[in-house]
Structure 1
Amino acid sequence: MKHLRDSRAWVTVVTTIVVGAGPACLIGMGIWDWKFGLPTDDRVAIVNTVIAAASWLLVAVAGVVALLAYLDASGRPDLHIEITFNFSFPNEPVFLAADAETPEQRRQVVPFKQVRATVTINNASLYAAKNPGVRIELEGLRGIDNQSGWHAEWAHMLGIHSIQWEGSTDSIVHGKWSRTLPGLDFTGLTELAPGNTALVVTLVADGVAPVRTRTPVRILNQAEYGAYTDERNVRLEVEPPATAV
């Protein structure tokens, strides 16, 4: 997008030069008898040639300006969603499972800080995204409660299946900007399909095709989570974080 800003600057300079070139040439013809290399002494013909050339240049510049205006008006935002749970990397949710399984022999995540998440919409382009919305579907998972600032978009006999956030009718994510949505709390999250669990996220905005991504969810036992913690600390290059229970 930087080239568009540079182009607009150059168009401004060229337009100023072209607008001023016509009168300057006419003044030069009147005072210094400029002929611009034309093989004639007919001043009327020279004047008409200069005016025609200046008019053509102005039309060309106007066309470039119209093209840039079209590109600017038709530009689309480039949206990406980021869901970051405590103790997990962005869009890589990993949870510690409780030692005891549910009565249905399902693994459930331990309800401590790991279940809290921040949801952020990032706009990588220069163009604003209007009326953004986010839907998060549980795949192979169940057990979350209603989320503050979100509404349950679909629920079935096993509980909430998907949640949805929509801003007001005039909400916007500016270009090269981000917007943080209401936080999530996945206390009670339970595994239904081991090895096939994920958050399926759909991100929408006016004039933009929906962006649908599948983020795998890992629910690990104590030993597996310990190995993950070591791996995470290597990536972070920090001391192991304190575990709050």
Structure 2
Amino acid sequence: MTLKLGDIAPDFTQDTTEGPIHFHDWADGKWVVLFSHPKDFTPVCTTELGTVARLKPEFDRRGVKVIGLSVDPVENHAKWAADIAETQGTAPNFPMIGDTDLKVSKLYGMLPADTAGGSDGRTAANNATVRNVFIIAPDKTIKLILVYPMTTGRNFDEILRVIDSMQLTAAHKVATPADWNQGQDVIIVPAVSDEDAKSLFPAGWTTHKPYLRTTKQPG
């Protein structure tokens, strides 16, 4: 199965470092970031998990639930957490899925559906495609999919920036331009007529082209 933007995020029940979860119930109508790892005790992923742990208050402030995944057993995750705390200064403070039967990896298209067996004996090399980020909206639709190579650490400040943009779009009829950051001007979506824009954006806007109108960030 190839997941696309707008698809409903596949549901699953799986063990985590905070106990078994039923994913859709756990999400509880919140924004969710699911990010995955091909193997425990891998170097780049160690730095990523420490970074997300440090940024957890920023995700909380946005009402976003964070959950990690690695194909190894939950008991291995607990041992890895000690290494992460030692080397990165902060242990994971969010649930980590143990995907030993590869069920979630297959559901989310990170491994082929016909992959045989479980996590035992598999290596980071043959799980290399299990380095993804999924941002899931409160209606359970997938809003972003990113796939990273093994050697490139993920930029979680960028993940937060994307969430800011998506949440702004969800609340107002705007899009965000290239390199946008909080507080900067936004784009009025083309579906909004100038007449409707008068009530939606009473402070006015600048028309650069009929299809490109910018205004101050709402809210």
Structure (1 or 2) with the greater strand fraction: 1
| Normalised-by-shorter TM-score class | under 0.3
Could you say which structure has the larger radius of gyration?
A: 1
TM-score, with structure 1 as normaliser:
0.22
TM-score, with structure 2 as normaliser:
0.24
